[in-house]
Amino acid sequence: LPVSINTQAKLDTNLRGEVDWTLTETPAPALVSALRPFVEAFPSSLSLEAGLFKATGRLNLTQNDWTLRAALELTSADLLYGNNQIEQLHWQSDLQLNHQGKLNSTGQISAAQIYIGLPVQLSPLKYELVKTVKQTQLSVAPFTASLLGGQIYLPALSFDPGQPDMIFLISLRDFNLGSILELYAEKGLYGEGLIDGQLPVQITSEGIRIQGGNVGTVQAGLIRYQPDENLDAMAASNIGLRLALDALSNLHYQLLDMQVDYHPNGDLLLSTRLQGNNPEWQQGRPIDLTLTIEDNIPELLKALQITGRISDAVDNHFQR
Amino acid sequence: CTPTVQLAAPKDPITINLNVKIQHEILVKVDREIDNLLEENSDLF
Amino acid sequence: LSLEQAKTQGLIGEQLNGYVGIVTASPSTELHSLVTDINQQRRALYQQSAQEASVTLEVFEIRAGQRLQGRAKTGEYLQDQNGQWRRK
């Protein structure tokens, strides 16, 4: 193990007393690859590209049990987990472990930027983890995720990460419709407007589910969509599509109301209602457009990750 | 005075329904193709 | 000598473009023919799969390279952006 631990022991003849130890600051990537074979908790798709780790603590040895106290710190770490990247991760934790295997630990995690196909910032995450042989309980303080120009507010949560079974409400503020539409990298698709929402999130061992979430805005906005030729050609033989494309070519909406349903397999169903008009179509006749959109989030994120990576790679390739 | 006929803009809203199923880009298919290659030709990869 | 053995012995490694490259400074003729043979077979497979997924061969090769480097075992050699060989 490429690491140096200095210890200072005050033990009596039958080895009772205290051992103070310090693990001097070590490059974290080397530590992780050395520990990987022993800790199955490290998923193979998780790799540490940078970071420094240090720890200090005290081991108390008494009659027939022992207690270990430790303060751990990982600084300026860069992680790669599958196609997701975490930059400038800082993790600090205090823990106490005893011979019965009872672990009490509190800590805080913060990161400059997380990239899951699109950039996300998380406010510092404060947690407490209590683990006994029988049960594990993780409690997380309220925190905020910033993405797509807006924020998601998450409440305090407390659950057993091994068998999560909880339902909580998250609220969305000031999501930028333009940024959301940009995710789809559809040339000719453009939007302006701010979106708020409330989503009841249910997490079980089956996964994440949202039923009857509501997202929308009463503040005016607009959607402009110029379809490519083959979609336009398709509209020639489909009156509903023709009408929708005409309306959406420059839709100024006063009301956007969307019901959100999300399934553990990643399928997302958006039943959207838009009320407004298109000043360049039918003399601005009022429009009541119902749009049901089906997508799959993991597929969307994978496509974003691939296109993100491939377009850089192809560009670098040509620049060289 | 002569009555003037003005084509009043239609006031009643036009209701439109559309279902959109988003299929992700070809690049997701690339990954599936690669998975097949890795499975069928393990000696080459 | 198999691809697997050559990799674990650090003789060859995965390049960015989805093909294997020679790492060792003094490759045997046997290693040379192994690498050429494997890359030829990979190229044929990539061409067919790229058509299947209707993307250019170049895009397919780059994505294959990313995936192959991602799944390489620790200790195997990988080529980085500036063409240097580095152990995973």
Residue B31 has pLDDT above 90, yes or no: no
Whole-complex ipTM: 0.67
Question: Does the beta carbon of B45 lie under 8 angstroms from any beta carbon of chain C?
Answer: yes
Per-residue model confidence (pLDDT) at position A316: 45
Per-residue model confidence (pLDDT) at position A97: 96
Instruction: Answer whether A33 sits within 8 Å of C16, measured CB to CB.
Output: no
Q: What is the C-alpha to C-alpha distance for residues A96 and A48, in angstroms, rounded to an integer? A: 25
Alpha-carbon gap, residue A174 to A152, rounded angstroms: 9
Q: What is the model's pLDDT at position A315?
A: 46
The pLDDT confidence band at residue A83, using thresholds 50, 70 and 90, is confident
Q: What percent of chain C has pLDDT over 90?
A: 56
Cβ neighbours around C32 below 10 Å, total: 11
Position B6 confidence tier, pLDDT thresholds 50, 70, 90: low
pLDDT in tens, A44-58: 778 888 999 999 999
Q: Return phi, psi of residue A86, to 5°.
A: -120, 125
Report chain A's mean pLDDT, rounded to a whole number.
90
Tell me the shortest Cα–Cα distance from C30 to chain A, in angstroms.
Answer: 30
Q: pLDDT (tens digit, 9 = 90+) per residue, A233-251?
A: 888 888 889 999 999 999 9
Residue A177 burial (CB count, 10 A): 22
Residue of B nearest to A246 (CA): B16
- Lowest-pLDDT choice from A37-41, A122-126, C44-48: A37-41
Is the pLDDT higher at A125 or at A48? Answer: A125
Predicted local confidence at residue A214, as pLDDT? 97
- Is the pLDDT assigned to residue A311 strictly greater than 70? no
| C72 lies within 8 A of chain B by CB | no
Chain A contact for C16, CB < 8 A? yes
**Do strands A286-296 and B14-21 pair parallel, antiparallel, or not at all (unpaired)?**
parallel
Tokens found for residue A311: 């377009």
Q: Between residues A17 and A83, which one has the greater pLDDT? A: A17
pLDDT given at position B25: 64
pLDDT of A302 higher than 90 = no
DSSP-assigned states of every residue in C7-22: HHTTSEEE-TTSSEEE
pLDDT digits (tens, 9 = 90+) for A8-47: 999 888 889 999 999 999 999 888 888 887 777 777 778 8
Identify whether the C-beta of residue A69 lies closer than 8 Å to the C-beta of residue A95: yes
Which residue in chain C has the smallest CA separation from A313? C62
Q: How far apart are CA A191 and CA A224, in angstroms?
A: 6
pLDDT of A159-189, one tens digit each? 999 999 999 999 999 999 999 998 876 768 8
Across the range A287-311, mean pLDDT stands at 82
